A and B are shown apart, each in its own frame.
Chain A
Amino acid sequence: SAVISQKPSRDICQRGTSLTIQCQVDSQVTMMFWYRQQPGQSLTLIATANQGSEATYESGFVIDKFPISRPNLTFSTLTVSNMSPEDSSIYLCKAGENTEAFFGQGTRLTVV
């Protein structure tokens, strides 16, 4: 099984600022994904992080708000830009194929 290191584990940020979340996998994976879990809710896919090309965003999520980088097969970042209190959520990365996928521990973001 893959080991995924996600950081920071939590942060409290001022509105209007940006936060970059890192996801490091201990082995090469083709697929990496970013999810959001709003308070008391389930997980929603933000985007698929594609190595060597732009991320593929789901409906309701845009690159300007959630820019994603995927410089290699073991690493990805998600930036939450120009934050507002509505962005307070847990953000999780997922790595691997759907039959063998693993989640990071999540980043608990609070925007004040």
Chain B
Amino acid sequence: AQSVTQLGSHVSVSEGALVLLRCNYSSSVSVYLFWYVQYPNQGLQLLLKYLSGSTLVKGINGFEAEFNKSQTSFHLRKPSAHISDTAEYFCAVSPRGGQNFVFGPGTRLSVLP
């Protein structure tokens, strides 16, 4: 079974500041890793995913994440926040060879002017 934790249910940053959202997971099998964003009153949009290969993954809207197997982490980062990044962010894992997604509790990011 897999589980996902996200440190900080609510993160506030100023516009132009670094965004760092933390995700740690536990799993007894190898997993794929994902970050999704949910804007107010909308569904989920895939930001980026790690399947294999380079541990640094670049996604849409300037976001990137780094997979660290030893620390079982997949932290999301954006060098310079924009007001439009205000949203809920979900980290998720899915076992290789399986189909289910296990989602973290989410982190609400507020970008302040």
Report which A residues bind B (CB closer than 8 A).
Answer: 6, 31, 33, 41-45, 48, 92, 94, 97-99, 101-106, 108
Residues on B with C-beta less than 8 A from A92 are 43-44
Residues on A with C-beta less than 8 A from B53 are none
CB-based A-B contact count at 8 angstroms: 50
Contact (A97, B99) CB under 8 Å given A41-B105, A43-B90 = yes
Partner of B99, one of A42, A98, A104: A98
In the complex, the answer to whether A45 meets B43 with C-beta atoms within 8 Å is no
Residues B32-72 near A (CB distance < 8 A): 32, 36, 41-46, 49, 51
Partner of A103, one of B32, B44, B94, B98: B44
Report which B residues bind A (CB closer than 8 A).
Answer: 32, 36, 41-46, 49, 51, 90, 94-95, 98-101, 103-106
